[in-house]
Amino acid sequence: MIEKCLFPVAGYGTRFLPATKSMPKEMLPVVNKPLVQYGVEEALDAGMNTCCFVTGRGKRSIADHFDISYELEHQISGSGKESYLKSIRDVLDRGVFTMVRQREMRGLGHAILTGEPLVGNQPFGVVLSDDLCLNTGGDGVLAQMAKLYAQFRCSIVAIQEVPPEEAHKYGVIAGESLRDGLYRVEDMVEKPPAGEAPSNQAIIGRYILTPDIFEILRDTPPGKNGEIQLTDALLTQAKQGCVMAYRFQGKRFDCGSVPGFVEATNHVYENLYEE
Ligand code: G1P
């Protein structure tokens, strides 16, 4: 039912310098697969087969990754090494990949708005590929959220409980509990200062958004850090209608930080890697 998924991938990856000096952070490998491919596979598994990338300068290798490499295909064809290409060939067979460039970095809300021409007037998923979400043996997080969307038909954010001292790194929600792990959002704050978080339910980088979010984003003034914040637009949407927050099944790794990235690497190597 939800056909498209937006991937904001224009960020600089400062925390991984110098590795990210000339390479997009989304192409850093977790074992043998670039971070962004995990997110794309999650979207495809949720039935979202058009993946829309909001890219920027220096991100061309992402576009190349989701295309055929004729030279490589030719070299490897018929050799024992063909199996190494299996996962990316599967992705290419299942998906359509579109791109638009974000010329200025004005925040996540601005990145989402930049993707509007690729998404159009329909509900869509959003993956922040820094958050690697794995639910081995069950539905991926976006598939779980797409099922909820079919029921509620409103925007949904993924949440996870975090220790109070970590809340300042996230968008934090507060709301009315509808059932275990499902809330109707009443308040939402982007990166609250220490001691001011409305709860310990932090937004993780998976969203389903209804397309009226674009109109709201156009009218959303810069917020935290002078950036146009998706969190602020979602609060407006929650007040005008409805936004749900969903505590997902699965494990999440913060691959935007070095310790989270290392943890993800160890987890994938020990549990999912097949030679
Ligand atoms: C973004 C969002 C924030 C959310 C986080 C999840 O922040 O603005 O609300 O909690 O992603 O990873 P960023 O980490 O890009 O600063």
For every residue of 157-210, which 3-state class applies, written as one string? EEEEECCHHHHHHCEEEEEEEEECCEEEEEEEEECCCCCCCCCCEEEEEEEEEC
Write down the domain spans for the chain: 4-271
What is the predicted pLDDT for the residue at 233? 98
| Cis peptide bond prior to 18, omega within 30° of 0 | yes
What is the predicted pLDDT for the residue at 85? 87
**Distance, CA of 114 to CA of 100 (rounded, Å):** 7
Q: Is 205 in the pocket of ligand 1 (CB under 6 A)?
A: yes
275 has pLDDT over 80: no
**Distance, CA of 224 to CA of 44 (rounded, Å):** 32
Pairing of strands 131-134, 171-179: unpaired
Q: Locate 241 and state its tokens.
A: 């209608």
Q: Is 202 in the pocket of ligand 1 (CB under 6 A)?
A: yes
Q: What is the pLDDT of residues 125-142, one digit of tens each?
A: 999 999 999 999 899 999
Supply the pTM of this predicted model: 0.96
Distance of CA 270 to the CA centre of its chain: 24
240 has pLDDT over 90: yes
Q: What is the pLDDT of residues 1-16, one digit of tens each?
A: 899 999 999 998 899 9
Identity at 9, one-letter amino acid code? V
User: What CATH topology corresponds to 4-271?
Assistant: Spore Coat Polysaccharide Biosynthesis Protein SpsA; Chain A (3.90.550)
CB-based contact 173:198 (threshold 8 Å) = yes
What is the predicted pLDDT for the residue at 246? 98
Which one of 15, 108, 220 would you pick to mutate in the ligand 1 pocket, going by the greatest count of ligand atoms within 8 A of its CB? 108
Q: Distance from the CA of 117 to the center of ligand 1, in angstroms?
A: 23
Query: What does the radius of gyration of the chain's CA atoms come to, in whole angstroms?
Result: 18
Q: What is the pLDDT of residues 51-68, one digit of tens each?
A: 999 999 989 999 999 999
**Distance, CA of 54 to CA of 270 (rounded, Å):** 32
Identity at 189, one-letter amino acid code? V
Q: Distance from the CA of 96 to the center of ligand 1, in angstroms?
A: 26
Q: What is the pLDDT of residues 203-235, one digit of tens each?
A: 999 999 999 999 999 999 999 999 999 999 999
- % pLDDT > 70, the chain: 100
Which one of 106, 203, 255 would you pick to mutate in the ligand 1 pocket, going by the greatest count of ligand atoms within 8 A of its CB? 203
* Neighbouring C-beta atoms of residue 172, cutoff 10 Å: 24
